[in-house]
Protein backbone atom coordinates (compact mmCIF):
# COMPACT_ATOMS: atom_id res chain seq x y z
CA UNK A 1 0.00 0.00 0.00
CA UNK A 2 2.95 2.35 0.50
CA UNK A 3 3.22 2.66 -3.27
CA UNK A 4 -0.22 4.34 -3.25
CA UNK A 5 0.23 6.78 -0.35
CA UNK A 6 2.37 9.90 -0.13
CA UNK A 7 2.87 11.90 3.04
CA UNK A 8 3.28 15.49 1.91
CA UNK A 9 4.44 18.46 3.93
CA UNK A 10 3.96 22.07 3.00
CA UNK A 11 1.78 25.10 3.56
CA UNK A 12 -1.85 24.13 3.03
CA UNK A 13 -2.80 27.81 3.04
CA UNK A 14 -0.79 28.23 -0.17
CA UNK A 15 -1.41 25.06 -2.16
CA UNK A 16 -1.59 21.30 -1.95
CA UNK A 17 -0.88 18.70 -4.64
CA UNK A 18 -3.71 17.00 -6.47
CA UNK A 19 -4.85 13.78 -4.78
CA UNK A 20 -7.75 11.36 -4.57
CA UNK A 21 -7.93 11.51 -0.76
CA UNK A 22 -6.69 14.08 1.74
CA UNK A 23 -6.31 12.94 5.36
CA UNK A 24 -5.78 15.60 8.01
CA UNK A 25 -5.38 14.27 11.54
CA UNK A 26 -5.70 16.64 14.51
CA UNK A 27 -5.06 19.62 12.24
CA UNK A 28 -8.32 21.50 11.86
CA UNK A 29 -8.88 22.03 15.57
CA UNK A 30 -5.77 24.25 15.53
CA UNK A 31 -7.53 26.83 13.38
CA UNK A 32 -10.42 29.29 13.57
CA UNK A 33 -13.38 28.92 11.22
CA UNK A 34 -12.03 31.29 8.55
CA UNK A 35 -8.72 29.41 8.41
CA UNK A 36 -10.55 26.05 8.36
CA UNK A 37 -12.43 27.22 5.26
CA UNK A 38 -9.20 28.53 3.65
CA UNK A 39 -7.58 25.11 4.07
CA UNK A 40 -10.58 23.40 2.47
CA UNK A 41 -10.56 25.95 -0.39
CA UNK A 42 -6.90 25.12 -1.01
CA UNK A 43 -7.74 21.42 -1.20
CA UNK A 44 -10.78 22.07 -3.40
CA UNK A 45 -8.66 24.10 -5.83
CA UNK A 46 -6.18 21.24 -6.26
CA UNK A 47 -8.56 18.28 -6.22
CA UNK A 48 -10.74 16.82 -8.94
CA UNK A 49 -14.47 16.39 -8.37
CA UNK A 50 -15.07 13.31 -6.28
CA UNK A 51 -11.85 13.64 -4.27
CA UNK A 52 -12.35 12.92 -0.59
CA UNK A 53 -11.33 14.79 2.53
CA UNK A 54 -11.06 12.79 5.75
CA UNK A 55 -10.56 14.64 9.00
CA UNK A 56 -9.59 12.83 12.18
CA UNK A 57 -10.73 15.21 14.88
CA UNK A 58 -12.43 15.41 18.22
CA UNK A 59 -16.19 15.78 18.02
CA UNK A 60 -18.04 17.82 20.63
CA UNK A 61 -21.21 15.96 21.57
CA UNK A 62 -24.47 17.85 22.07
CA UNK A 63 -25.73 18.63 25.54
CA UNK A 64 -24.19 19.56 28.84
CA UNK A 65 -22.63 16.23 29.78
CA UNK A 66 -18.89 16.34 30.54
CA UNK A 67 -16.71 15.14 27.67
CA UNK A 68 -12.97 15.24 26.94
CA UNK A 69 -13.43 17.30 23.77
CA UNK A 70 -15.10 20.06 25.77
CA UNK A 71 -12.00 20.38 27.93
CA UNK A 72 -9.76 20.26 24.87
CA UNK A 73 -11.93 23.01 23.36
CA UNK A 74 -11.03 25.30 26.26
CA UNK A 75 -7.37 24.36 25.93
CA UNK A 76 -7.38 25.19 22.21
CA UNK A 77 -8.98 28.55 22.92
CA UNK A 78 -6.26 29.35 25.45
CA UNK A 79 -3.39 28.22 23.21
CA UNK A 80 -4.48 29.64 19.86
CA UNK A 81 -7.62 30.51 17.91
CA UNK A 82 -8.57 26.87 17.31
CA UNK A 83 -11.46 24.92 18.74
CA UNK A 84 -13.14 21.55 18.89
CA UNK A 85 -16.33 21.39 16.83
CA UNK A 86 -19.72 19.72 16.83
CA UNK A 87 -21.18 17.74 13.93
CA UNK A 88 -23.30 20.77 13.06
CA UNK A 89 -20.26 23.05 12.97
CA UNK A 90 -18.35 20.64 10.72
CA UNK A 91 -21.33 20.47 8.34
CA UNK A 92 -21.61 24.26 8.19
CA UNK A 93 -17.89 24.72 7.52
CA UNK A 94 -17.80 22.09 4.77
CA UNK A 95 -20.83 23.73 3.15
CA UNK A 96 -19.22 27.18 3.40
CA UNK A 97 -16.13 25.79 1.64
CA UNK A 98 -18.21 24.17 -1.11
CA UNK A 99 -17.68 20.55 -0.03
CA UNK A 100 -20.29 17.94 0.81
CA UNK A 101 -20.18 16.27 4.21
CA UNK A 102 -20.83 12.56 3.69
CA UNK A 103 -20.57 11.01 7.12
CA UNK A 104 -19.14 11.19 10.59
CA UNK A 105 -17.85 7.95 12.06
CA UNK A 106 -17.46 8.14 15.83
CA UNK A 107 -14.97 5.94 17.64
CA UNK A 108 -14.84 4.83 21.27
CA UNK A 109 -11.88 7.18 21.74
CA UNK A 110 -11.83 10.96 21.56
CA UNK A 111 -11.38 11.15 17.78
CA UNK A 112 -13.96 10.71 15.04
CA UNK A 113 -13.60 10.35 11.28
CA UNK A 114 -15.30 13.15 9.34
CA UNK A 115 -15.56 12.42 5.62
CA UNK A 116 -16.53 14.81 2.84
CA UNK A 117 -16.04 15.06 -0.90
CA UNK A 118 -15.49 17.65 -3.60
CA UNK A 119 -18.71 17.87 -5.64
| Residue 67 a catalytic site member | no
5 vs 110: CA distance, rounded Å: 25
SS3 state at 30: helix
Using DSSP, state whether 55 is helix, strand or coil. strand
CA dist list (Å): 97 to 25, 26, 67, 110: 19, 19, 28, 25
| 87-96 vs 33-46: helix crossing angle, rounded to 10 | 50
**One of 29, 41, 67, 117 is an active-site residue; which one?**
29
Catalytic residues: 29
Amino acid sequence: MTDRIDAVSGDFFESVPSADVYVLAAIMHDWDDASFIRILHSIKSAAAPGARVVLIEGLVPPGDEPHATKLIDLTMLGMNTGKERSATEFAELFTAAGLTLDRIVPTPEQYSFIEAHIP
